[in-house]
Amino acid sequence: MERLDVINMAKKENVKTSELTKEEAIEQVVSLANAGHSPSKIGLILRDEYNVKNFRELTNKSLQEVLNENSLLTDIPEDLLNLIKRSVVLFTHMETNKKDFSAKHGYELTVSKIRRLSRYYIKKNKLPSDWRYTPETAALLVK
């Protein structure tokens, strides 16, 4: 036997597959969402703690579909919300540090990403058509 075959066999023996059933995996997702975890964090927990390599293969549904069926999705998508949080941090930093022009540039880039992503989500009907980004509403969303 070649050396690579021995290594590959050893890797296959050490890797455990998920012991969760379809129903248990869905229950786990719902309980993690109720505990306040974001969808990306839920995916990491399922991968690391429960050895679920691919949630879709296990349940024939995506994580987002399961959360949507149980009304656990937030109004604003997670990636957009993370950008909004970053913009709030940069905005408050700029208020106290007026001469920090690199922070101003970073803030402008972040706002630009927020506006582009919001246009995409408005087209996909995941955000209302009248949704607009303003620093004031962003600060309210983060709190």
pLDDT in tens, 84-142: 999 999 999 999 999 999 999 999 999 999 999 999 999 999 999 999 999 999 999 88
Q: Both 105 and 133 in a single domain? A: yes
Instruction: Please check whether residue 129 is in contact with residue 123, taking contact to mean a CB–CB distance below 8 angstroms.
Output: no
Q: Identify the pLDDT of residue 4.
A: 57
Q: Both 46 and 84 in a single domain? A: no
Question: What is the residue type of 66?
Answer: V
Q: Both 64 and 33 in a single domain? A: yes
Q: Which domain holds residue 129?
A: 78-142
Q: In the chain, how many domains are there?
A: 2
Give the CATH number of the domain where residue 109 resides.
Answer: 1.10.287.10
Q: Both 63 and 94 in a single domain? A: no
Q: Both 39 and 95 in a single domain? A: no
